[in-house]
């Protein structure tokens, strides 16, 4: 790692308290002798004094102030464009990295064909299962089987992510979501990296491009992972690169905004990259859910959101299809080969439960 220029990027939007803790954890990194390591804090148009607060608290970091909230991908891209490096480390602004986090990620980049390394992200609080009748809180999470979990000091440490995976219906999700930390998988190759904790090789980004800014929020890491794999870059998981994530502290998974962008972007990313059966399934399911919600209650918030998501996805399809053709022309690995990473859909949670994956935040 001698002489390597590395920049860690943390994106803030109106949560300087959380962001400051994330940046402070990066300032405490060890094992980086000989590495030109710096931190870039991007304020995404907060307009509430966040940018000034963070500059005062972390004067040794570089600061980028965007005039408006352009989304996660655009914020990271602005840091990359203004601070070129050999590798970029991403950390959620509501996460805290262990002291060896960056060094462990960089060790994964020693292999020349590795384009990105994803971290072991644990939930910051211990969790325990709660009865179905228990009231929801902003910190309640739901696993793929529909079991609900809530913070509990006597509970277990659970996994947030050991990388990204995509199901046969085009749904992106965190690998090992809510698995006990003691049972999580070891270091290995994965389909994709999590934007909440990862290192990306600068040369790989030079080849495939930066984050897709039109996604605004969620699925940016999944989309970029597709492009990396189509150009032959490996993506690996480093189990010793650990962070603790306060899940949903900066963006609620039950919010209308979360659900809108997840529903829209799932279809858009599938059309850009996935085999026909996958993106067709994603589009049909999104359409069917919008129709069902409309039949139940045409003026409900859910029905309106699902119609907006579907309409936004359909409007984006021509551009997504054109991008698909561009990726195909430059790809060195077939779509079918990358699609072998797709995993089966697990048992679905009961109708009406919130999405279980918080992407890139």
Domain positions in the chain: 5-123+161-245, 256-339
- The reported pLDDT for the residue numbered 252 is 54
Name the residue with tokens 């998981």: 237
Any long-range contacts for 45-48 (C-beta under 8 Å, 24+ apart)? 45/13, 45/69, 45/70, 46/12, 46/13, 46/14, 46/16, 48/14
- Token pair in block for residue 5: 């220029």
Residue 319 CA to residue 315 CA, distance in Å, equals: 8
Contact residues for 354 (Cβ-Cβ < 8 A; gap 6+): 140, 142, 253, 254, 259
Q: Is the dihedral of CA 327, 332, 335, 341 positive or negative?
A: negative
Q: What are phi and psi of 303, to 5 degrees?
A: -65, -45
- The reported pLDDT for the residue numbered 145 is 83
Contact 149, 143 (CB under 8 A): yes
Residue 303 CA to residue 282 CA, distance in Å, equals: 18
- The reported pLDDT for the residue numbered 248 is 65
Phi-psi map region of 216: left, alpha, beta (phi>0 left; psi -120 to 50 alpha): left
Residue 147 CA to residue 270 CA, distance in Å, equals: 27
Q: What are phi and psi of 301, to 5 degrees?
A: -60, -40
Q: Give the ranges where 36-182 is alpha helix by DSSP (H).
A: 50-57, 72-82, 101-108
Residue 31 CA to residue 97 CA, distance in Å, equals: 14
- The reported pLDDT for the residue numbered 250 is 61
Contact residues for 231 (Cβ-Cβ < 8 A; gap 6+): 115, 204, 207, 208, 330, 331, 332, 333
**The CATH homologous superfamily of the domain defined by 5-123+161-245:** Spore Coat Polysaccharide Biosynthesis Protein SpsA; Chain A (3.90.550.10)
- The reported pLDDT for the residue numbered 247 is 78
Residue 15 CA to residue 92 CA, distance in Å, equals: 12
Stretches in the chain below the pLDDT threshold 50: 347-361
- DSSP structural state of residue 158: B
- The reported pLDDT for the residue numbered 106 is 98
E strand segments, 104-167: 114-123, 127-130, 141-142, 148-151, 159-161, 164-166
Q: Is 173 helix (H, G, I), strand (E, B) or coil?
A: strand
- The reported pLDDT for the residue numbered 2 is 74
Contact 155, 145 (CB under 8 A): no
Q: Is 287 helix (H, G, I), strand (E, B) or coil?
A: helix
Kindly report, residue by residue over 169-219, the tens digit of the pLDDT.
Answer: 999 999 999 999 999 888 899 999 999 999 999 999 999 999 999 999 999
Name the residue with tokens 């409900």: 300
- The reported pLDDT for the residue numbered 347 is 47
Q: What are phi and psi of 102, to 5 degrees?
A: -65, -45
- The reported pLDDT for the residue numbered 359 is 43
CA dihedral 263, 266, 272, 273 (to 10 degrees): -170
- Name which of 245, 254, 143, 229 is nearest 196 in CA terms: 245
Contact 192, 333 (CB under 8 A): no
Residue 269 CA to residue 170 CA, distance in Å, equals: 8
- The reported pLDDT for the residue numbered 249 is 62
Helix (H) or strand (E) run with residue 291 in it: helix 276-296
Residue 228 CA to residue 21 CA, distance in Å, equals: 31
């Amino acid at each position: 790692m001698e002489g390597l220029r590395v920049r860690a990027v943390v994106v803030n939007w109106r949560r300087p308290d959380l962001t400051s803790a994330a940046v402070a954890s990066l300032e405490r990194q060890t094992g980086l002798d000989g590495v030109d390591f710096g931190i870039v804090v991007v304020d995404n148009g907060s307009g509430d004094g966040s940018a000034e607060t963070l500059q005062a608290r972390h004067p040794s970091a570089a600061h980028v102030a965007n005039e408006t909230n352009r989304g996660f991908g655009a914020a990271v891209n602005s840091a990359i464009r203004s601070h070129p490096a050999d590798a970029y480390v991403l950390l959620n602004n509501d996460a805290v990295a262990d002291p060896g986090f960056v060094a462990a990620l960089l060790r994964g980049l020693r292999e020349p064909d590795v384009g990105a390394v994803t971290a072991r992200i644990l939930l910051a609080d211990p969790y325990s299962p709660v009865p179905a009748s228990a009231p929801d809180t902003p910190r309640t999470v739901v696993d793929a089987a529909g079991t609900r979990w809530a913070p509990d000091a006597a509970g277990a440490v659970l996994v947030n992510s050991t990388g990204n995976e995509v199901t046969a219906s085009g749904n992106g999700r965190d690998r090992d979501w809510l698995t006990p930390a003691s049972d999580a998988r070891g270091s290995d190759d994965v389909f994709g990296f999590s934007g909440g904790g990862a290192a990306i090789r600068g040369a790989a980004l030079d080849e495939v491009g930066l984050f897709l800014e039109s996604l605004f929020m969620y699925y940016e890491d999944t989309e970029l992972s597709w492009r990396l794999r189509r150009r032959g870059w490996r993506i690996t998981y480093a189990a010793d690169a650990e962070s603790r994530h306060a899940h949903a502290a900066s963006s609620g998974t039950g919010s209308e905004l979360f659900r809108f962008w997840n529903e829209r972007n799932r279809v858009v990313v599938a059309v850009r990259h996935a085999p026909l059966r996958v993106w067709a399934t994603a589009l049909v399911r999104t359409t069917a859910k919008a129709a069902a919600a409309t039949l139940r209650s045409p003026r409900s918030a859910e029905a309106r959101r699902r119609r907006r998501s579907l309409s936004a996805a359909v409007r984006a399809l021509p551009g997504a299809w054109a991008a698909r053709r561009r990726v195909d022309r430059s790809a060195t690995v077939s779509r079918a080969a990358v699609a072998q990473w797709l995993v089966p859909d697990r048992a679905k949670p009961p109708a009406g439960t919130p999405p279980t994956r918080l992407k890139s935040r």
